[in-house]
A and B are shown apart, each in its own frame.
Chain A
Amino acid sequence: MIAAIEPSWYLVVASVLFAIGAFGLLVRRNPLQMFMCIELMLNAANLTFVALATSLGDINGQTAVFFVMVVAAAEVVVGLGILVSILRRRPGATADDLAELKG
Chain B
Amino acid sequence: MTSPLVEIRNLQVARGGQPVLRINALTIEKGAVLAVVGPNGAGKSSLLLALARLLSPERGEIFFNGNPPASESDLVYRRKVALVLQDPLLFDTSVFDNVAAGLRFRGLGKNKIRPRVEKWLARLGIAELKHRRATELSGGEAQRVSLARALALEPELLLLDEPFSALDPPTRKRLLDDLSALLAETQITTVLVTHDLDEALFLGDGVAVILAGELRQQGTPEAVFTAPSDLDVAAFVGVETVLPGRVVAAKNGQISVEVGAQRIEAVGHAQFDQQVYVCLRPEDVTLWEQADLPPSSARNVIRGHVKQILPSGPLVRVVLDCGFMLVALVTRSSAQTMCLEPGAKVTATFKASAVHIILRSDEPLNVAKID
Binding between chains A and B = no
Query: Which residues of B are in contact with A by a Cβ distance under 8 Å?
Result: none
Query: Which residues of A are in contact with B by a Cβ distance under 8 Å?
Result: none
